[in-house]
Structures are given as C-alpha cells and as structure tokens.
Amino acid sequence: MVQQVPENINFPAEEEKILEFWTKFNCFQECLKQSKHKPKFTFYDGPPFATGLPHYGHILAGTIKDIVTRYAHQSGFHVDRRFGWDCHGLPVEYEIDKTLGIRGPEDVAKMGITEYNSQCRAIVMRYSTEWKSTVTRLGRWIDFDNDYKTLYPEFMESVWWVFKQLYDKGLVYRGVKVMPFSTACNTPLSNFESHQNYKDVQDPSVFVTFPLEEDETVSLVAWTTTPWTLPSNLAVCVNPEMQYVKIKDVARGKLLILMEARLSALYKLESDYEILERFPGAYLKGKKYRPLFDYFVKCKENGAFTVLVDNYVKEEEGTGVVHQAPYFGADDYRVCMDFNIIRKDSLPVCPVDASGCFTAEVTHFAGQYVKDADKSIIRTLKEQGRLLVASTFTHSYPFCWRSDTPLIYKAVPSWFVRVENMVDQLLRNNDLCYWVPEFVREKRFGNWLKDARDWAISRNRYWGTPIPLWVSDDFEEVVCIGSVAELEELSGAKITDLHRESIDHLTIPSRCGKGSLHRISEVFDCWFESGSMPYAQVHYPFENKREFEDAFPADFIAEGIDQTRGWFYTLLVLATALFGQPPFKNVIVNGLILASDGQKMSKRKKNYPDPVSILQKYGADALRLYLINSPVVRAENLRFKEEGVRDVLKDVLLPWYNAYRFFIQNVVRLQKEEEIEFLYNESTVRKSPNITDQWILSFMQSLIGFFETEMAAYRLYTVVPRLVKFVDILTNWYVRMNRRRLKGENGMEDCVMALETLFSVLLSLCRLMAPYTPFLTELMYQNLKVLIDPVSVQDKDTLSIHYLMLPRVREELIDKKTESAISRMQSVIELGRVIRDRKTIPIKYPLKEIVVIHQDPEALKDIKSLEKYVIEELNVRKVTLSTDKNKYGIRLRAEPDHMVLGKRLKGAFKAVMTSIKQLSSEELEQFQKTGTIVVEGHELHDEDIRLMYTFDQATGGTAQFEAHSDAQALVLLDVTPDQSMVDEGMAREVINRIQKLRKKCHLVPTDEITVYYNAKSEGRYLNNIIESHTEFIFATIKAPLKPYPVPPSDKILIQEKTQLKGSELEITLTRGSSLPGPACAYVNLNICANGSEQVLEDFLQGHTCG
C-alpha cells in the first residue's frame, strides 16, 4: 500500500536510508548481475592518489562518470565500474620525504631502499577509508572490492609488457636532455608535467657585461632572469641576421654591443646613448670575451667563452645577446653542442646537485640553493663591475605539480619514448575521438599534440615500477624484460614482487662477454603507469586477453581539463604506439572548481566549505545537480558557492518533492474518501480530453526524445537545464493549474485522469533523473511503484529504480501544436505577472481586464482556447485579444546591440545607430518577419537588433493600462482600483491566514477542523468582507467558517491574532468537522547547519492549501 509522505523532510537523512537500502539488497552488484549478458560498455576510471582527501574536482569527475555509466546501464548495456588507485610516484614519496625529513639521495641511501619503500607502502592507502566513504555517500556506484592498484605485481608486470613493446619497436632511447627538474623531489619531470602548474612570479632581472678580449673597453650586454646560471656560462649567442649596434652609454661612459631593436630594453630616451657602429650579428661570430667567473676556464680549450650565432635569438625580449649555460637551457645545450663547446663524451658543466644546491666547483656559492644564491651572485657581479642594471621581472614560471616548488631546467641523462615522430598519428587518432566540449579536442589538446616532445619516462626515484632494463657497465649491451617469467628465466631467481628492493640485486649473464648485467636504477614516471591502466588493470596480455581486445578502446572516460596534459595524453601516446589506435571513443572534459572569490581552493586559506559538511547539510543530490548544472561541465571554471547548492535544493528538489507529495496525498484521499484504489496501467489508460494533460504528456515525451539524443552525444550541459526546467513546468504550471482537478473538485472521473497523468509524468521524470539524482528518485520510486498495476510490469526485477531501463518516446503522445499553444499562454501569464510585480499588486487582488496583442491570429486563437487558465492564473475578470496595435497605441522599437555593432562597424557605428532609431514601424515589422535589414549600407540581423513593443498611453487613450512585452506579444493589464476587487482580495488574505495556521498545526488533508474568527475593524469592514464572501472562503478552505465565540467543548488546535490592512483578525482552529480538509501542498525541510537543526519552510510556488 502506498505510504503517506511526511510533512517534514531531511534530504541528507533520507539519503542515508537509501544507502542502507542499497547495501541491504546489494543493489549495485545485483545491477551488474542482471546485465551480465548484455552488450558491454567499457569505462576506464582514472586512478587518483589516496594520499590526500577527495576534493570537489574529484567529486565532479566522479559524478560525471556515475551519471554516464548509470545512463549506459539503463540504456541496455553491461558496465563494469572498477575503482583504481595510483600508488606510486612523487605524491607518495614527497609525503614521506616531508615526514621523515629526507633532503636528498644520500638520506635515502642511509635508510636503505627497502625501508624507504616500506614507509611509502604504509601511507599509500592512508585516506582510502575516507575516499570510499565520500564516493559512496555521493551515490556513486563503483566497485571497490574489485579495484586495481598500480602497486599490484600483476599491474606492474603489464607495465613492463607495455614498455617492452615500445622498446622492441625502437621507440625507447637513452639521452641527455635539458629537462624540467624538481629540486624538491630530486628528479626530472616530463615536458607535460612541467606545464601543469604555472604561476606568476617575480624574479631578478639583470643586464650583465661581457668585455671582448680584443678590446676590453667594449662589452656585449646580455639579459637573464636566472642569475644562478651565470657561474656556468660558457658562451653567448646572437642572431646572425639581425642588426646589432655598438653604442656609447652617455651616463656610464661605457661602450656596449646589443641588438638595435632592443635598445629600448635599456634606455627610455634616444639621448641616453650614441650609436657608433651598425653591423649584422654574423659580424660578432667567433669573438672571444672575458669569462664572468673562473670556475670553468679550462673549457676555453674547447672554444668556450665565444660568441655563437643562431636564429633562436629573437627581438621580442632581452638585448639580443643571450648568455649560454648549456646544461641549464634546452636551446643553450643545442647551440653549444652544434659549435662543439660541449660534447657528449666530455664532463658536463653542471655544478648543481639533485637538491638544487651548488656543488663544490662553484667555490663562492657552494651548498647554497640556486634560487637563494641569486642575490649573492648579483652582489658579486656588481663588485666585479660586470653588473649593468638589476631589477625585478614578473613572468609566468613552472612549479613542481607535486611539491609546489619552482622547477629548474637541468641536463640529466634520462630514458625517453619517441613521441615526436608519431605526432601525425597522434593527431589522426585524436580526430577519431569524440570530445565534449569539442573545442578541447581542436584547441587545448590538439595544439598540445602538435608540439609534442619525446617523453622522459625515467625518474631517479625509488617507489615506483622499476624500468626493466639490464645493462652492461658501458651501456652497450641492453636487455629489456617484458614479464616476470622472462626475468626468472634469465636471472634464475624466484620473483614475488617487482619493486626495487626485490629485483635491484638480480643480475643477468651477459651474452657478449661483458660479465653481469645490472638493472638501471630508474623507475617509471607514474604517468606511464596510469597511461598503461587499460592493459594493466586486467593483467593484459597475461590474462583476459580476449576480453580486453573485445572491449578496447573504451567507450567512455572523463576527467578534468588539466588531464589534457596528463592522463588523456599518456593514454593516447601509449595506445597509438602499441596498437595504432585511440584508447577511448568518447571523453567528457570538465573545468576547474575554484573558491567563491575565483581563487584556487586552498586548504591553507580555508577558502571553501568542506565537501563532507555540504553533504551533511544538503545531501548528495543537491551537490551533484549543482555541479552538473554549471559551466564546469563545458570545461569552463566554476566559482563554488554553498548558496548555489542550497538553491538547487530549495528551487528544484523541494518543489519536485512537493509535487510528488501532493500526488500521494490525493491518491490517499481518493482511497480513503471515495474508496477508489489507484492503480496505473499504461496500456489501459484512457486519453484525457484535458488540454493540460495532453500538453504535459507531450512535453514529457519531447523531453525523453531530447534526453536520448543529448545523452547519446554526452552533452550533459544541455540535458540538465532541460530537466530542471521540466521540474519547474511540472510544479509551477501543471500542478498549479490542475490542483482542483487533482483534489477531485471536478468529479472523480476527471480526478483519476489527472492523477494518471501526474503519475505517468512523475515516474518518467524519476527514470530520467535517476542517473543525476539517484537518491531522491529512489525515494519516490519506492512509493510510486506500489501504484503500478502488477499486470503491466514487464521488467524482471523492479526492486530499485536503477534496475529499470530508461523510458522510450511514445510518439503518439507528442502534440507540438498543444505544446506551442501552452507556451504562448505561459508567455502571456508571465508578462502579466511582471506587471503585477512592478505595480506591487498581489495576485490575491483581482483585476478587470488583460489585453493581449499579437500579430499572429493563430497565436491569439491558441490563447483564446486557454483563456480560463489566463483568467485563473492572473486573477483577472476578462481577456481581450487583438491584432490591432494602433488601437492601443502600440509601436515597435529597435534596440541595437552596441557592443556587437560597435566592434563590427567601427567608424560607421554612430551613423548606423542614428538611422536604426529612425526606422519606421513598417520597416521594423518587415525586419521582424525576415530577420534581415539594410541600414546605411550595412546588412543587420536578429543578433544585431532587439525588437521591443512600446505602449503610448496617450495615443491609445487607455491610461488605466500598464504594459509589458516580449519579442512576440504585448500585454496590457488594467490596474485601475475597483472596490469589489479589493474586497475579494481581502477575502483571499483571510484564506491565506487560515491556511498558514493549518500549516503551523501540521494538519494533513483529511484532518477535520472548524474555523472561528473575530474581526475588529472600523465600520465592521472586515466582518462585512468575510460575511459577504463566506461561500468563496468555504469553497477554498473546505471547513466550516463561524464567528466567535468558540464553544467551550471544542478542542482548540491553534489560536492567533493577525493584522490585515489595518484591521485586527483573530482566528481559532478547532478539531472536528464533517468536511474534508484540503490537500495541503506545504512541506518543511529540515537541514543541519552549524551543528543544529533548522527548518527551512517552503511550498509549491503560488500553490496554497486549497
């Protein structure tokens, strides 16, 4: 039997009950069991680190994944949903280093890799309990029991297999490159990692002189923002084709050489310098200069401290003379290698250790962290007379994505995957993927792929999957291992784990007489592991070979826009290298969630509300819907605001719940008072003659069709607004206009038809909304399903709404003409409401007339057929329809879009604006029909000009009217005061006070009451109003209305005095009456805020208990 819906609802508490229900019946696993023989829908879940708590970014991505996978299941697919954990790499090691005070490789060596990795393993799943709790509380159905972890030996073995395939294809090489280097984590980072965390910083800006050996009175001038690289200077570089000048610095009396185009970098006025000579940069090639420091003077034997030439030197910044520290700059390294200043077989000039501190070679600054040494270096240069200018420079600079410390660029030997030679194939495979939104594929990701660089996959770290290369001491013999079995065979050892402490000691006999081969010390970049997850999570190809190949590539993935340079990228690179195809078919990219002030969310600043507290206050459905119904699903940024979550609950979930509650109340009333049992059977439902029933059913079918199309296209950002709009249409239009029918005031047959319509719509809405708001839809469904005729049930198991397939469009119910007619009626009502609001005339007070002016006779015909709803909703006595604008003094007016036209028309803008304002009504009416008009020789369109109706009261001779319009119609509302209407408004105020007292008493519709009143007003005005409107009041409140006194025998429920337009009114409600009470649509919402329970009162907008 259907259960009465409680008056008070606490959404978070109800959600907890639904979680218990799902757990009790093992609903998720049962869902998978039911679909196991259906076609597969493959989903990859990007693995997060469990070393930190889940934040709003995780919640958003998890919600998107949950919505799409629930939708896929409800569309007839089997969807395995395995949770994954990223367990290796910098995030884990950095936490251990902080905790244990480890500052570099020496500290790890003292501790031992075995102990170090043991410490890492201990914290890998530090917050796994919190993760599971939060993810589950959000309503996400995901398999934690069958999860994958990148530390599992089976996962690591598949990573080895991936690497072996790349190695065998010649895609792996060892090289020395200048790479982004994290001094906090003591390791190089890949090119894409370095782009993940840019910040605006203020760095030193110094201009330094390099005196020429041939004439030390003449100096080259170079500019740098990294003074710490100057001790490693080995050359300077100029552009051979650009014009350079020798000048005399007037103030300093010095002779300087720099690019002519860059004189403005040093001098504000031309009078500050005198040009002595002009020459191309090629003239300077090979000239020697005096070194800044003597740390590496021996390099002069190899041609160091010479002017080199290269076209990479540009005229956009600096002086056109670039100082070269080849082991700290990619271009520096290339140019110095080209000119044999450095060679692959020579010792590197790289006096900076893994922690970013100067080594002993740089005697003056040894042991200092390079960034800290900037000031000392600048001071030294000044003392030596080599500093020309020192200031500061603000620019965007890369920081370590894990430690949030500045990166440096440093030449280190690394292992690379060749990516540059597969760029064209990467771009082709990217074109095969469907991206939402599309611009991410073309712009953000596509542009990144075009400039892809070889991927540095090795890390000089400890806690990760070891790179399976065993090499001779001279690196000439290399064996790549692709499986545990292969390593066991070649090493003769039994292997149970693949971490460094378990295999670093293993050796392989050389086949070339080079003794024993040892494993290289590096481990994989953790991004290589996550990029391998499609294969490694199923231990491919060692197990599940056919299952994987049948389900690859994935149907769907989703992550944040930052992953265009992370997981999306590594997935594509590896899949392209391995199989020549993309790893996924469809991807949704979300934007970033920021604090309410637009700043990055920061634990330190505490500038955002804790997600757990939001869940406790408002529930998961409200949070899910808030996030998904925002720009962040279009890969734009969202400023998170708690009031936004509250508004979703108040404006969407609560009205929807009220409509459901109103329906249940009237079903119960039908059973109790009329002894009619409501059972819904779609196949036996008769077509309702009521136009609003036909409209809402048609509107629902149109929504289902739209839902199918847009969800299949993964455009969640178009679906949610339409679903939310439908909730508003249902609650504030359909239920509001049909409340009397639903309560049986127009007869039982009509009542049942209205209830059948509302049931059909509520059930379909629940099925559509189930992926988005899994809790509330389950709550409603558990009560609604008992009203379904068992004979009509086709699904095998209907225990949960999440077992049901999505509704299919019933084309026979779609009536676009009716939808259009209702839409026109709504427009008229909304225009009328705007006028009432503007004139502060409450809806309780009736008005004489509304005039609707529209150029389309068919539109007026539609409005005429719905006239009674206009009268009722706007509380007017008469509706007049007309196409005659002139009769009422109506004119069209053009309002140009100044911003759009200003940019496009430029100098012609003013003349066009003047002409637009002078356009005649006839010209504007023609423009209204065609959407195009030529003004001053410029063709203008709908988006350039907005048409508005204006109302000239003097011309129309109708001073009692107030007007408002939209693009199609204009409404005139007669706002002239009328005593009979004022009296009726007062009667409605009395009704309103009575209904509020009913609500305070928490009365249900079937509670029988009697209403007593005592009015005190001048000249018995209020008494007269009540007496003359007794029948009107009675028809609404459905309870006897009597003047004081209250019989002593009556049980008083509530008694209250209130002021009404200067009159005092005392109302008493007593228990007992033979008449039924109204079907009350009010509901209270309990929320928990700041540790205490509060009541948020709300009700269906404009819907009173009567």
Q: Mean of the pLDDT values across residues 590-597?
A: 90
What band does 49 get if pLDDT is binned at 50, 70 and 90?
confident
Find residue 82's DSSP bridge partners.
143
Pick the range with the lowest mean pLDDT from 220-224, 231-235, 274-278, 838-842. 838-842
Q: Which residue has the tokens 């500290």?
A: 107
| Nearest partner of 22 among 779, 764, 766, judged by Cα | 779
Return the HEC string of 784-801: HHHHECHHHCCCCCCCCH
What's the chain's Rg over C-alpha atoms? 38
Domain ranges of the chain: 8-160+537-598, 203-398, 824-974, 979-1099
| Percent of the chain surpassing pLDDT 70 | 95
- Pick the more confident residue, 3 or 776: 776
CB 439, CB 127: distance < 8 Å: no
Q: Does domain 203-398 have CATH number 3.90.740.10?
A: yes
Give the torsion sign (CA, 388, 392, 395, 401).
Answer: positive
Q: What is the predicted pLDDT for the residue at 176? A: 84
Q: What is the predicted pLDDT for the residue at 1094? A: 43
Question: What six digits make up the tokens of 918?
Answer: 């002078």
| Nearest partner of 1085 among 652, 792, 705, 689, judged by Cα | 652
Residue type, 334: R
Q: Mean of the pLDDT values across residues 698-719?
A: 96
Instruction: Please state the separation of Cα 201 from the chain's center in Å.
Output: 27
Residue 435 is given by DSSP the state: E
Cα(1011)–Cα(560) distance, integer angstroms: 60
**In the predicted model, is pLDDT for residue 596 greater than 60?**
yes
437 cis-preceded (ω within 30 degrees of 0): yes
Q: What is the predicted pLDDT for the residue at 896? A: 81
Q: What is the predicted pLDDT for the residue at 953? A: 64
- Order the strands of the 961-965 sheet from edge to edge: 876-882, 847-854, 969-974, 961-965
Return the HEC string of 452-506: CCCEECEECCCCCCECCEEECCCCCCEEECCCHHHHHHHHCCCCCCCCHHHHCCC
**In the predicted model, is pLDDT for residue 1078 greater than 50?**
no
Q: What is the predicted pLDDT for the residue at 614? A: 94
Residue 687 is given by DSSP the state: P
The answer for residues whose C-beta is within 8 angstroms of residue 1018's C-beta and 6 or more apart is 1062, 1063
Exposure b/e, 515-545, CB count within 10 A at least 16 = b: eebbbbebbbbbbbbbbbbbbbbbbbeeeee
Model pLDDT for residues 469-517, shown as the tens digit of each residue: 999 998 889 999 999 999 999 999 999 999 999 999 999 999 998 889 9
**In the predicted model, is pLDDT for residue 1092 greater than 60?**
no
**In the predicted model, is pLDDT for residue 59 greater than 60?**
yes
- Pick the more confident residue, 930 or 733: 733
Reading phi first (left if > 0) and then psi (alpha if -120 to 50, else beta), residue 435 is in beta
Find residue 480's DSSP bridge partners.
469
The helix or strand, by DSSP H or E, that contains position 829, with its residue range, turns out to be helix 816-838
- Order the strands of the 1052-1060 sheet from edge to edge: 1041-1043, 1009-1016, 1063-1071, 1052-1060
Q: What is the predicted pLDDT for the residue at 884? A: 83
Q: What is the predicted pLDDT for the residue at 1103? A: 39
Name the CA dihedral angle for 958, 960, 961, 962, rounded to a multiple of 10 degrees: 130
Q: What is the predicted pLDDT for the residue at 776? A: 98
The helix or strand, by DSSP H or E, that contains position 941, with its residue range, turns out to be strand 938-941
What band does 345 get if pLDDT is binned at 50, 70 and 90?
low
**In the predicted model, is pLDDT for residue 1089 greater than 90?**
no
Cα separations in angstroms, 554 against 180, 434, 589, 876, 915: 32, 12, 15, 59, 58
Residue 652 is given by DSSP the state: I
Pick the range with the lowest mean pLDDT from 273-287, 662-676, 702-716. 662-676
- Pick the more confident residue, 8 or 367: 367
Residue type, 917: K
Return the HEC string of 220-262: EEEEECCHHHHHHCCEEEECCCCEEEEEEECCCCCEEEEEHHH
The answer for residues whose C-beta is within 8 angstroms of residue 314's C-beta and 6 or more apart is 239
What does the mean pLDDT of the chain come to? 90
Enumerate long-range contacts of 389-394, CB under 8 Å, 24 or more apart: 389/205, 389/206, 389/207, 389/266, 390/204, 390/205, 390/206, 390/207, 391/204, 391/205, 391/206, 392/202, 392/203, 392/204, 392/205, 393/202, 393/203, 393/204, 393/205, 393/225, 394/200, 394/201, 394/202, 394/203
What is the chain's length?
A: 1106
CB 466, CB 500: distance < 8 Å: yes
Model pLDDT for residues 99-149, shown as the tens digit of each residue: 999 888 889 999 999 999 999 999 888 888 889 999 999 999 999 999 999
What band does 745 get if pLDDT is binned at 50, 70 and 90?
confident
Q: Is 424 exposed, middle or buried (0-12, 13-18, 19+ CB in 10 A)?
A: exposed
Cα(1105)–Cα(739) distance, integer angstroms: 10
Find residue 574's DSSP bridge partners.
none
- Order the strands of the 198-211 sheet from edge to edge: 273-280, 243-249, 255-259, 218-224, 198-211, 387-398
Residue 294 is given by DSSP the state: S
Q: What is the predicted pLDDT for the residue at 54? A: 87
Q: Mean of the pLDDT values across residues 274-298?
A: 95
Q: Mean of the pLDDT values across residues 338-365?
A: 87
Cα separations in angstroms, 346 against 177, 299, 411, 432, 1049: 15, 10, 13, 46, 110
The helix or strand, by DSSP H or E, that contains position 275, with its residue range, turns out to be strand 273-280
Instruction: Report, as residue numbers or ranges, the catalytic residues.
Output: 47, 86, 527, 563, 567, 600, 603
Q: Mean of the pLDDT values across residues 932-951?
A: 82
Q: Mean of the pLDDT values across residues 981-985?
A: 84
CB 834, CB 810: distance < 8 Å: no
Q: Mean of the pLDDT values across residues 39-57?
A: 90
Residue 943's CB: how many other CB atoms inside 10 A?
10
**In the predicted model, is pLDDT for residue 957 greater than 70?**
no
Q: Mean of the pLDDT values across residues 21-33?
A: 95
What band does 1101 get if pLDDT is binned at 50, 70 and 90?
very low
CB 1, CB 786: distance < 8 Å: yes
- Pick the more confident residue, 964 or 535: 535
Expressed in percent and rounded to 5, the helix, strand and coil fractions of the chain are 45, 25, 35
Q: What is the predicted pLDDT for the residue at 618? A: 96
| Nearest partner of 653 among 729, 704, 727, 716, judged by Cα | 727
Q: 3-class SS at 848? A: strand
Exposure b/e, 139-157, CB count within 10 A at least 16 = b: bbbbeeeebbbbbbbbbbb
**In the predicted model, is pLDDT for residue 1005 greater than 80?**
no
Cα(132)–Cα(145) distance, integer angstroms: 11
User: What spatial distance separates the first Cα and last Cα of the chain, rounded to whole Å?
Assistant: 26
Q: Mean of the pLDDT values across residues 857-867?
A: 94
Cα(277)–Cα(284) distance, integer angstroms: 13
Residue 48 is given by DSSP the state: P
Residue type, 823: S
| Percent of the chain surpassing pLDDT 90 | 64
Q: What is the predicted pLDDT for the residue at 827? A: 94
Model pLDDT for residues 181-210, shown as the tens digit of each residue: 988 888 888 766 777 788 888 999 999 999
Q: What is the predicted pLDDT for the residue at 1082? A: 38
CATH code for the domain defined by 8-160+537-598: 3.40.50.620
